[in-house]
């Protein structure tokens, strides 16, 4: 088993505010790992440091042993990390299908010349992309919605679509920022089953989530952030029994 993500001594400062302080964490291939913590704990900032949105003040981020600290986000996507956002970011003027196809563009082979001449190989590639996108939509039971505009979908399916688009790049690590946020109970349960299926398919997943039941049910290991610091980690059982974790939650909620 290889280490897909390795975060070492990561610190992120924003003029005076320390959003992350000396964070160490890792994700092994095939794992589902959770990040929990109160609002403002630094969870999204951690994702932003991992995916190149922020250049960390200190520390390193390694993908499969390669130091990617400070790389541009598109480079990091190309190499194998894909994410969803806390606030849904779909392309509103595109269909459901096209939203997924866009997620593939970093991995397609079409170069500028074939794009200009619209060659047979390009058409074949487009067909392959479309077939693959439809397969991904099927995972979420959304194939019949492929020609709908993305914004016409209800909230739950929009979140699913974001995940489908992230998967389109064949990521080595899928990062989900509060995927169940705003979902109702049945949508959350459907998402839990989908995430579980993704694990069975061999995906490696790092997820931030507020819904404790969701996290405890699906994650094999959990990291707990509070005020930018890791205050605990381990299996769901270990984390639930950790006094520092209990205090952080009881003290704030």
Ligand X SMILES: Nc1ncnc2c1ncn2[C@@H]1O[C@H](COP(=O)(O)OP(=O)(O)O)[C@@H](O)[C@H]1O
Interface with ligand X (CB under 6 A), residue from 3, 44, 60, 194: 44
Sign of CA dihedral 45, 47, 53, 54: positive
- Under rule CB under 6 A, residue 188 binds ligand X: no
Residues 12-31 that bind ligand X (CB under 6 A): 14, 17, 19
How far apart are CB 205 and Mg ion at their closest, in Å? 17
- Under rule CB under 6 A, residue 37 binds ligand X: yes
Site size for ligand X (CB under 6 A): 11
Residue 161's contacts (CB-CB under 8 Å, 6 or more residues apart) are 90, 96, 99, 100, 140, 142, 150, 153
- Under rule CB under 5 A, residue 227 binds Mg ion: no
Q: Which residues of 34-73 are buried (b: 16+ CB within 10 A; e: fewer)?
A: bbbbbeebbbbbbbbbbbbebebeebebbbeeeebbebee
Q: Tell me, what DSSP letter sits at residue 63?
A: E
Work out what residue 198 binds among Mg ion, ligand X, none; the CB cut-off runs from 5 to 8 Å by kind.
Answer: none
Query: Is the CB of residue 32 less than 8 Å from the CB of residue 63?
Result: no
Interface with ligand X (CB under 6 A), residue from 45, 77, 84, 150: 45
Whose structure tokens read 């209990």?
246
The neighbouring-strand residues paired with 222 are 34, 234
- Under rule CB under 6 A, residue 252 binds ligand X: no
- Under rule CB under 5 A, residue 44 binds Mg ion: yes
> Which segments of 4-154 does DSSP mark as H helices, in order?
43-50, 73-79, 96-102, 112-117, 120-139
- Under rule CB under 6 A, residue 50 binds ligand X: no
Interface with ligand X (CB under 6 A), residue from 6, 43, 157, 172: 43
How far apart are CB 47 and ligand X at their closest, in Å? 8
The site for ligand X (CB under 6 A) is made up of: 14, 17, 19, 37, 39-45
The site for Mg ion (CB under 5 A) is made up of: 43-44, 86
């Amino acid at each position: 088993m290889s280490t897909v993500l390795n975060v070492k001594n990561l610190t992120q400062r924003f003029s005076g505010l320390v959003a992350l302080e000396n964070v160490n964490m890792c994700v092994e291939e095939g794992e589902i790992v959770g990040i929990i913590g109160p609002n403002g704990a630094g969870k999204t900032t951690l994702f932003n440091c991992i995916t190149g949105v922020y250049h960390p003040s200190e520390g390193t981020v390694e993908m499969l042993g390669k130091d990617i600290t400070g790389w541009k986000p598109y480079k990091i996507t190309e190499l194998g990390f894909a994410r969803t956002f806390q606030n849904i970011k779909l392309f509103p003027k595109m269909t459901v299908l096209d939203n997924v196809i866009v997620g593939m563009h970093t991995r397609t082979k079409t170069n500028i010349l074939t794009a200009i001449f619209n060659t047979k190989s390009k058409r074949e590639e487009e067909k392959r992309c479309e077939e693959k996108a439809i397969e991904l939509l099927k995972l979420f039971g959304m194939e019949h919605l492929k020609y709908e505009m993305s914004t016409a979908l209800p909230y739950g399916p929009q979140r699913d679509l974001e995940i489908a688009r992230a998967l389109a790049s064949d990521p080595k690590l899928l990062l989900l920022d509060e995927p169940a946020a705003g979902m109702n109970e049945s949508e959350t349960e459907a998402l839990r089953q989908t995430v579980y299926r993704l694990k069975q398919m061999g995906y490696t997943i790092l997820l931030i989530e507020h819904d404790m039941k969701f996290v405890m049910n699906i994650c094999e290991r959990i990291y707990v952030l509070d005020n930018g610091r890791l205050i605990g980690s381990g299996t769901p059982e270990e984390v639930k029994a950790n006094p520092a974790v209990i205090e952080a939650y009881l003290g704030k909620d």
